[in-house]
Each structure stands twice: as C-alpha cells, then as structure tokens.
C-alpha cells in the first residue's frame, strides 16, 4: 500500500483534491503543471507507481506493449484505493472528493479505479487512456464526470480504444466528455486547456 508521493495543501476547501498519476517512466511530480492549469486552488496528491519496468516506474505490470497483466492490475488498483483512504486520513482532505488526473499508464490505473470502485473517485481526467480490462461489470457510475483526451493518430492507444472506454463508462452512467486531438500519444497543452475548461464547468 505504500506509495512514494507528495502532498500539497490547496488554498480552497471547496475544490476537490487532485490525484496525479504519471505515465510510464514518470514520477509523483510530473503532472504538477497540469494541476496548476486545471485547478490551482486544489489540494494535490502526486503518486509514484510501485512497479518498475526496465527501471521505469509504472502503476501495474504489463506482459507486452498494450497487453496488461490483469491480475496485477486488479491488485494494484486495490492497493491504490487503500492508499487514498490512508492519505485522506493522514492529510485531512475529503475522501469523497478526489478527482484523478492521469496520463497514459496513470490514466489506465485511474480508469481501473472507476471500473472497480464506484466511490473511489468523484471524477477523472484521463489523458490517452486504454480500456483497463474487458468483460467486467462496472459499478454504478451515475453522474460521475469523466474527461477523456485522445489522439486520432495515437499508435499506443487507438481511437477505437478511446471509443470503447467512452462507451463502457457511459453505459455505467458516467457523464463522459471525449475530446479528440489530431496528434499521437503525447500530452498536448491544448488538451490540458480543454480539460481545465471542463473541470471548471463540472467542479467549480
């Protein structure tokens, strides 16, 4: 359950806490610029993945590119959820008001939280996520706001993957916004700007 992390107290008690989840090879500070753009007044909890792949931190193992170790994914998702329970008690923020901001591998574990735990997140900003696992009955996500940023030419996360994730979350009741960029898997300033506008609409 232990995770290397950073916590920064925000200036607003009204804003949700942002859970920052990096991509493969990143760390707990990678997405701090996104937090500044999306909700500068929020508490920020940046978490580093516990799995190493060729020395690069990740949130769960994979068997090959695009092929997840599902057993490990499920276990790591449970561990992260328990860590969020601990962090809320440790730092005194509202456990029911956490919005994940994830990129790539971090977006995948955030999506997995939604797939497994209906009340783990108040909402999520998912940059270039994949469907974490198929053939799973999702919890009731009625009204949970989710922003998905996808690239039309993303070689790692195909447009179909993004469409499938959108459909699965929507069928579970989530309030999903799917935003398309013309580029690949890279994180663009434009998509973060769109995520920030969406966040203000949903949470402020």
How many helical (H) and strand (E) elements, i.e. helices and strands, does the chain have? Answer: 5, 11
Render the burial of 34-46: b for 16+ CB within 10 Å, e for the rest: bbeebbeebbbbb
Half-sphere exposure of 164 (CA within 13 A, CB side): 12
Q: How far apart are CA 134 and CA 99, in angstroms?
A: 23
Q: Where are the alpha helices (DSSP H) in the chain?
A: 32-38, 70-91, 105-116, 159-171, 189-203
Is 30 considered catalytic here?
no
The helix or strand, by DSSP H or E, that contains position 56, with its residue range, turns out to be strand 56-58
Q: Is residue 12 annotated as a catalytic residue, yes or no?
A: no
Q: Both tokens of residue 158?
A: 């195909």
Residues 6+ apart with CB under 8 A from 44: 6, 7, 8, 10, 17, 18, 20, 32, 35
Instruction: List the catalytic residue out of 3, 30, 154, 162.
Output: 154
Given the residues 39, 104, 112, 162, select the one marked as catalytic. Answer: 104
Residue 185 catalytic? yes
Catalytic site residue from 5, 170, 179, 185: 185
Would you name the residues annotated as active-site residues? Answer: 104, 154, 185
């Amino acid at each position: 359950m232990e995770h290397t992390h950073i916590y920064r107290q925000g200036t607003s008690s009204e804003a949700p806490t942002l859970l920052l989840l990096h991509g493969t090879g990143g760390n707990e500070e990678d997405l701090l610029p996104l937090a500044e753009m999306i909700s500068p007044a929020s508490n920020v909890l940046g978490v580093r993945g516990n799995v190493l792949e060729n020395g690069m931190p990740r949130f769960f193992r994979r068997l090959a590119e695009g092929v997840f170790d599902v057993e490990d994914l499920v276990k790591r998702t449970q561990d992260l959820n328990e860590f969020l329970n601990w962090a809320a008690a440790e730092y005194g923020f509202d456990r029911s008001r956490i919005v994940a901001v994830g990129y790539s591998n971090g977006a995948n574990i955030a999506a997995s939280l939604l797939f497994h735990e209906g009340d783990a997140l108040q909402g999520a900003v998912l940059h270039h996520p994949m469907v974490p696992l198929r053939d799973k009955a999702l919890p009731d996500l009625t009204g949970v706001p989710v922003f998905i940023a996808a690239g039309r030419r993303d070689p790692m996360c195909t447009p179909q993957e993004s469409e499938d994730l959108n459909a699965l979350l929507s069928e579970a009741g989530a309030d999903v916004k799917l935003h398309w960029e013309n580029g690949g898997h890279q994180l663009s300033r434009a998509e973060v700007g769109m995520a920030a506008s969406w966040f203000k609409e949903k949470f402020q």
